[in-house]
Amino acid sequence: MIKLSNFPIKTLKTRPKISDNISTGILLQAGFIRQTMAWVYNYTTLWLRVLRNIENIVREEMDNYGVSEILMSWLSPMDIWEKTGRADIEEYFKVPTYWDKNYRLNPTHEEIVVPLMCEFINSYKDSWAAVYQIQNKFRNEKRAKSWLLRGREFLMKDAYSFHLKDEEFVEYYEGMKKVYMRIFDRLDLLKDTYITLADGGVFTDKYSHEFQVVLPIWEDDIYICDECNTSHNKEIVDLENGFVCTNCNSKNHRIEKASEVWNIFPLETKFSKPFGMKILDENNKQQDVIMGCYGIWVSRLMWVIAEYNMTEKGIAWPESIAPADYYIIVIWEENIEKAEDFAKKLESKWKTVILDDRMWKKIGFGQKAGDCELFGIPNRIVISPKTLEAGWFEFTKRGEESEIVNF
């Protein structure tokens, strides 16, 4: 239970306007975030709760797909990046040491996960093995912008799968698309999310796939076929010198403004070969390992959800990730003990509660109700002398009329 009477993070009376992203001003006003330096942020209690709730959904779906969670190092030696030709990428931070060597603050973990898993993946029986982690990443991002949308430090879920045969990889890769869409569904983003074909870049000569959420504040234009609804990144359209659907060859399309929050790549053998990672097949012959990688920018996703669900009064978080299930407003100090008892009853049912027990003269019902909406709590309960006398309380579910409910 969070009691606002001794909660250290305070809301602001007015909303800062520091960018085109209205949600950023709301998050600052609610005390969810504060900036450490350009494009690097501190997360306070309620924002952290939202983050952990998103993490838990991601974790549940990854675990259900049979992916094993691990945690890899933040630092790595430069020689492993030299093996894959990624030692001199400017966007990747280098950390000098006093003995004339450089380390790297890991921007991604292909170079770390392959040597790690070489010990454990040896034969065709290990094909389909996959691991994931949820960890901070660091990139010297040239395009840092839009506050939380693109930063230099961010939380990411990155997963890596290992396969003997192409057909096994394709089946696993397609299954991961379904896992990601289930996550979107649980976050109430599914109807505006498109799996978007993108260039494989330096990773592969095949298509990669981005998961793009339609938003008025955007980074990308996505081209969606009017005939079959297949979505294409602008880079794909440019490569083809104009729109031609890769699925049905139609030229009819619409353009949506969107923000990328996840991507998945067929890595093929780009990272397994430099480290000599091989699997023994059924005939006892060594074969190069085929890999896939699957990223979710968790902290960026959280910003997208905030922008997607903002209102004039706050962030209307989906119930699955809201910082609390219930917000209890107490009228008059002598009712605090009974409000605490009721909050404990809710917690015994695995509900989370914010108890607004602030009794200072300037904190009236209006501000308490306003903070409830600012925080984005889906259920509000008001406990007052009148309701207690009758054994009732006022209950309001977001978007619905208030009702009087028996204890």
Residue 190 has pLDDT above 90, yes or no: yes
What does the pLDDT look like over 297-330, one tens digit per residue?
999 899 899 999 999 999 999 999 999 999 999 9
Global pTM?
Answer: 0.93
SS (H, E, C) the chain: CEEHHHCCCCCCCCCCCCCCCHHHHHHHHCCCEEEEECCEEEECHHHHHHHHHHHHHHHHHHHHCCCEECCCCCEEEHHHHHHCCCCCCCCCCEEECCCCCEEEECCCCHHHHHHHHHCCCCEHHHCCEEEEEEEEEECCCCCCECCCCECCEEEEEEEEEEECCHHHHHHHHHHHHHHHHHHHHHCCCHHHEEEEEECCCCCCCCCEEEEEEECCCCCEEEEEECCCCCEEEHHHHHHCCCCCCCCCCCCCEEEEEEEEEEEEEEEECCCCCCCCCEEECCCCCEEECEEEEEEEEHHHHHHHHHHHCECCCCECCCCCCCCCCEEEEECCHHHHHHHHHHHHHHHHCCCCEEEECCCCCCCCHHHHHHHHHHHCCCEEEEECHHHHHHCEEEEEECCCCCEEEEC
Q: What is the pLDDT of residue 133?
A: 98
Residue 39 has pLDDT above 80, yes or no: no
Cβ atoms of residues 221 and 235 within 8 Å: no
What does the pLDDT look like over 71-125, one tens digit per residue?
999 999 999 999 999 999 888 999 888 877 889 999 999 999 999 999 999 999 9
* Residue 296 pLDDT class (50, 70, 90 cuts): very high
- β-strand pairing of 379-383 with 68-69: unpaired
95, 104, 106, 107 from 140: Cα distances, Å: 12, 12, 11, 9
Residue 217 has pLDDT above 80, yes or no: no
What does the pLDDT look like over 390-406, one tens digit per residue?
778 899 999 899 888 87
Residue 150 has pLDDT above 70, yes or no: no
- β-strand pairing of 253-268 with 220-225: antiparallel
Average pLDDT over every residue of 203-223? 86
| Percent above pLDDT 90 for the chain | 74
Residue 212 has pLDDT above 60, yes or no: yes
Q: What is the pLDDT of residue 143?
A: 60
Mean pLDDT of the chain: 91
* Residue 199 pLDDT class (50, 70, 90 cuts): confident
Smallest Cα–Cα separation from 270: which of 106, 111, 383, 32?
111
